[in-house]
Amino acid sequence: MEFLLEVTQAKKTKDREWLKEVSSIPLQQSLNDLNTAYQNFFNSFQGHRKGKSVRPPKFKSKKSRQTARFTKGGFKVGQYQVYLATIGKLKVVWPKSLPSQPTSATIIKDLANRYFLSFVVEIQPEVLSKTDNSVGIDLGLKTFATLSNGTKIDAPKPLKKQLRNIENDVSHYPGKTRGTKRYEKAKLKLAKFHGELKDTRTNFLHKLSTKIKYENQVIV
């Protein structure tokens, strides 16, 4: 209730009128996260929290990665669309179906202006069938991995393949004036390039780990 009151009072101020344009659900979640971050910081500072020391939370930049989390009542999942409170219906491309009804939905905007939806769902632990197969994995430099059965796995090299193209696009990026349209355009191109590299690595590791997981018992 205290957080809700703070959001309501902030909407009445001139500098915070823009808060009326968004749903109150992600605003409350942001305040909850801020409260948790400060609690962790003070507990760590006073020695009541184990592990690495926790730093105080920092303000997020509007130009950095953006997220908004919706809890139950703030979103609805359909076959081809997802409804978010205040935002409305969004057309989505499902990589796979959800295993169960989600308890929360987070919309993410990365530096390349791409939007993603992340859901929290509950699933039952998966028990794999027993097998006599096992394999050891040795990670290397020239070869990504070598299995104990002699199989060698080469990693994709998207950086080497696309580096020449990106150099032509952003060769003058450091010399552009910060804040200009040409600067922002070059910055967006660079962000999209790094996003593609990250996706390539992630997809490679996911497909590889899934293949080894179901074909063998892995011994690293």
Q: Given this model, what pLDDT does residue 218 score?
A: 47
Q: What is the per-residue pLDDT across 43-97, written as a single tens digit (0 to 9) for each?
A: 998 888 888 898 998 887 777 788 999 998 899 999 889 999 999 999 998 888 8
Q: Which of 63, 59, 9 is nearest to 37 (CA)?
A: 59
What tokens were used for 111? 């530096």
Q: What pTM was computed for the model?
A: 0.69
Q: Given this model, what pLDDT does residue 219 score?
A: 44
